[in-house]
């Protein structure tokens, strides 16, 4: 379904940046405007007065079903001649495109035609979610949170990281998830001290810390949640100490979230608490990131982020401490930003 309000918001930004038209080719931006995820099969050309869909016979049926057949322009393979016809017909002079994501040859074609390259042109449009988007993210988060609770019961000595990952993937799909929102991370024992560990065959042992970092996609929208578990009944003093610091930092970060803050201000809340415990060098990544159609998108919550976190944004808060060769602890929730605080979405 064509999202007319989102197209109008894009047109308003085009007026602010003095553009006659914008050629949308980046898959996530196309999905944002059309809700159609097979985004490599078409371009959307948005002008001040309307829009045109450039596609081929493989995909035209999708748009006919959307009721926008009159806006379709069909071609077998190459969309560029259709675009040139539009430019000529409507006498567009200032045309924009996303220069960061365009493949080299396509970007060169656009620049050779005099089009203006922009970086992350859609970031501020996609950053603030509408109610439909929030509901989709909320459901993706529910699925992930329920699955983490199910996975916790499977964490026992002898179970492998890969075994648990496969169980989680199946459990999320059984609840309606389309796919994982990223490569799931199950890190146990010394592997839990590697923040972006690639899940392997190691089997859980008594005394292990186990990081479970998972997410799924529901109706094109992502979720992200991390929990850290202990294998056995009696966590040692080191695990209890590190877990307590991370838990307090994560809760403080969530409590600090509100509209109008810069990302680095939220990051600082978590980072200062961890620094005061003498663990500054063991918190090696940002506190969080925005998510939506992509698992990582604006706004960014890290120590150099000056982007403003606005009401309606959805972000993660995920501090962690990692002791190489020993253990790691990370706790993460996805939260909805409000004017006066945050709502945790990653609840069963």
78-126 pLDDT per residue, tens: 789 889 999 999 999 999 999 988 889 999 999 999 999 999 999 999 9
In terms of Cβ atoms closer than 10 Å to its own Cβ (0-12, 13-18, 19+), residue 225 is buried
User: Is beta strand 95-98 parallel, antiparallel or unpaired with respect to 116-118?
Assistant: parallel
CA 102 to chain centre: 20
**Model's pTM, two decimal places?**
0.94
Identify the pLDDT of residue 134: 98
- Which one, of 176, 189, 146, 168, lies nearest residue 328 by Cα? 189
Q: Which fold has domain 128-344?
A: Creatine Amidinohydrolase (3.90.230)
The confidence band for 63, taking pLDDT boundaries of 50, 70 and 90, is: low
- Which one, of 43, 104, 103, 50, lies nearest residue 74 by Cα? 43
- Is 285's pLDDT higher than 50? yes
Q: Show Cβ contacts of residue 112 under 8 Å, excluding neighbours closer than 6 positions.
A: none
CA 69 to chain centre: 31
Instruction: Return d(Cα 225, Cα 150) in angstroms, integer.
Output: 14
Span 314-325, average pLDDT: 98
Residues in a beta bridge with 216: 180
Instruction: Return d(Cα 55, Cα 37) in angstroms, integer.
Output: 14
Instruction: Return d(Cα 263, Cα 125) in angstroms, integer.
Output: 17
- Is 278's pLDDT higher than 80? yes
Ranges in the chain annotated CATH 3.90.230.10:
128-344
Q: Would you say the C-alpha torsion 322, 190, 247, 164 has a positive or negative sign?
A: positive
Ranges in the chain annotated CATH 3.40.350.10:
4-126
Instruction: Return d(Cα 48, Cα 221) in angstroms, integer.
Output: 28
- Is CATH 3.40.350.10 correct for 4-126? yes
Q: For the segment 159-200, what is each residue's pLDDT rounded down to a tens digit? A: 999 999 999 999 999 999 999 999 999 999 999 999 999 999
Span 207-231, average pLDDT: 98
- What is the chain's mean pLDDT, rounded? 93
Q: Would you say the C-alpha torsion 104, 110, 112, 114 has a positive or negative sign?
A: negative
Q: Return the number of other C-beta atoms located less than 10 Å from residue 17's C-beta.
A: 13
- Is 27's pLDDT higher than 80? yes
């Amino acid at each position: 379904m064509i999202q007319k309000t989102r197209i109008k918001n894009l047109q308003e930004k085009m007026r602010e940046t003095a553009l006659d038209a914008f050629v949308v080719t980046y898959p996530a931006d196309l999905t944002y405007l059309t809700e159609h995820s097979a985004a490599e099969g078409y371009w959307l050309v948005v002008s001040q007065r309307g829009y045109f869909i450039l596609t081929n016979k493989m995909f035209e049926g999708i748009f006919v079903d959307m009721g926008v057949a009159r806006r379709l322009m069909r071609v077998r393979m190459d969309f560029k001649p259709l675009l040139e016809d539009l430019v000529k017909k409507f006498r567009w002079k200032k045309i924009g495109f996303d220069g960061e994501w365009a493949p080299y040859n396509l970007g060169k074609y656009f620049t050779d035609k005099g089009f203006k390259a922009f970086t992350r042109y859609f970031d501020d449009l996609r950053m603030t979610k509408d109610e439909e988007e929030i509901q989709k993210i909320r459901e993706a988060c529910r699925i992930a949170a329920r699955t983490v609770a199910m996975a916790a019961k499977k964490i026992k000595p002898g179970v492998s990281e890969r075994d648990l990952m496969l169980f989680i993937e199946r459990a999320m799909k059984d609840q309606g998830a389309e796919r994982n929102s990223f490569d799931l991370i199950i890190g146990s024992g010394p592997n839990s001290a590697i923040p972006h560990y690639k899940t392997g065959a190691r089997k859980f042992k008594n005394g292990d810390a186990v990081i479970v970092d998972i997410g799924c996609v529901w109706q094109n929208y992502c979720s992200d949640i991390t929990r850290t578990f202990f294998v056995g009944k009696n966590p040692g003093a080191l695990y209890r100490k590190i877990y307590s610091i991370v838990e307090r930092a994560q809760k403080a970060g969530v409590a600090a979230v509100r509209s109008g803050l810069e990302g680095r201000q939220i990051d600082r809340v978590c980072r200062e608490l961890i620094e005061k415990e003498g663990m500054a060098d063991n918190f090696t990544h940002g506190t969080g990131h925005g998510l939506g159609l992509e698992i990582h998108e604006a706004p960014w919550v890290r120590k150099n982020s000056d982007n403003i976190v606005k009401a309606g944004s959805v972000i993660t808060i995920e501090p962690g401490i990692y002791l190489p060769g020993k253990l790691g602890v990370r706790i993460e929730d996805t939260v909805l930003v409000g004017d006066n605080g945050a709502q945790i979405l990653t609840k069963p």
